Amino acid sequence: MKLVFLEEAGRIRQETLKPAGAMIGRDGAADIAMNDPDVSRQHCLVMQKGEAWQVEDLGSVNGVLVNGIRIVGLQTLKPGDCLRLGTTELFFLEDQAALPAGLMPADERPALQTMTFSAGKTTRASVAAGISASEPPPTSPLEPKPVPICPAKTPPPPMTSHLAAPSKMVQAMLLANALVIVLVLGFVGYLAKTVWLPEKQVWVVPTPDGGELLMDGKPIMGPTLLPENASLTIRKSGFAEQGFSLANPGTVELTKFMPSPGSVLVTSSPAGAAVCLGGKHLGRTPCVLSSLPAGPCQLMVGGQDTRTKPMTVAGNDKAGTTVFIQLESLSCTAEVVTTTPGCEILVNGIKTGKIGSEKEKPVPLKIDNLYPGIYQIQAVTANGKTKEVTVTLAEQQYQQISIAI
């Protein structure tokens, strides 16, 4: 088998293919080197597998087209197939096959028969293919049209818009319509403000968390249009009902509510502390206690990070009472420093931060909000060297920890 193609100088070049195959490309070391700038350095490989010949694209930029279709992977070749590499067409032929008409010398190409029709006479002439006549051939519906030897896919023509620009009159009409729409919307807004909506009405804002907003004893759900200065009532379990005016609508703070008669509102700083009576958990601050026994009651209030403190309240107070307690924090602080700047610090296996540096000296790392207990502090250098120390922190302790590494 052989490959035949036309070089830039117009010289016909034939390359016999060996069973081992041939690499085609622009590289000088290629088995079949080409001068086409659109051909990659290692463009494709033509090889024999059994009785069949195949071509494989080697990742070229412009690809390999066989009979006008770009191949993907391996493509089996048949005698007479046309390969397009870049702008060059190569014909895959048998060794004894004749050259395609497009590659033959002009004097050896087969003649084309053309017919001329004029004044009722028919004239037949023989014109060699590829040779231009001195006069342009007459057009005829029977005249053969040239067919490309190896057609290539061409991109479709760009789409163009056939919509003409609107005239000045159309533009003026559009502008007038837009102006009319703006005037109509403005008039509708004026009517909505002065006629359709009563003047002294406002939109109700939120109800308190867990509370219920009522007007004339009926609950109000969601944003509702109400008369200005309407008398409303907020009702919440454990609190006395509280009325207010809507002259200045806004969010009502529950801390300003008075607990219902016989109830005690317990608040603390920080909030979220557990409230217990006789070992029974009653809730977390702020909470309302409405079932306390009569007389003085000793409550225990505290949290995980605060010291538990006792407080005495009066149960079954007819007016309802509010009590507050300030709790002491039990959190500890550790200040860690290493002899080597840039160390990663881990507390009980959790990354906490890095030791900084200032003028090549280590800057201590401050770790807050630690609970009393035993901690493993580990320092890790940039090259992976580690050292671990164990420390015990007591309540409200500020401890400095130095690690030599």
The CB-based long-range contact list for 283-289 (8 Å cut-off, 24+ gap) reads 286/254, 286/255, 288/237, 288/238, 288/239, 288/259, 288/260, 288/263, 288/264, 289/263, 289/264, 289/265, 289/313
Q: State the pLDDT at residue 82.
A: 92
Q: Which of 246, 256, 247 is nearest to 215 (CA)?
A: 246
Question: Is the pLDDT assigned to residue 188 strictly greater than 50?
Answer: yes
Q: Which of 302, 304, 278, 303 is nearest to 291 (CA)?
A: 278
Q: 365-392, pLDDT tens digit by residue?
A: 888 777 778 888 899 998 889 999 998 8
Cβ pair 332, 370 in contact under 8 A: yes
Q: State the pLDDT at residue 120.
A: 46
Q: What is the mean pLDDT of residues 267-279?
A: 85
Q: Which of 43-52, 188-197, 390-399 has the highest mean pLDDT?
A: 43-52
Average pLDDT, the chain: 75
Non-local (6+) Cβ contacts of 288 within 8 A are 237, 238, 239, 259, 260, 263, 264, 265, 266
Q: What is the mean pLDDT of residues 303-325?
A: 78
Question: Is the pLDDT assigned to residue 165 strictly greater than 90?
Answer: no
Nearest 5°: CA angle at 382, between 376 and 388? 15
Q: State the pLDDT at residue 348.
A: 85
DSSP count for the chain of H helices, then E strands: 1, 35
Query: What percentage of the chain exceeds 70 in pLDDT?
Result: 67
- Helix (H) / strand (E) containing 175: helix 168-191
CB-side neighbour CA atoms (13 Å) of 369: 2
Specify the pTM: 0.32
Q: State the pLDDT at residue 32.
A: 92
Residue 168 or residue 160, greater confidence: 168
Q: What is the mean pLDDT of residues 35-61?
A: 91
Residue 174 or residue 235, greater confidence: 174
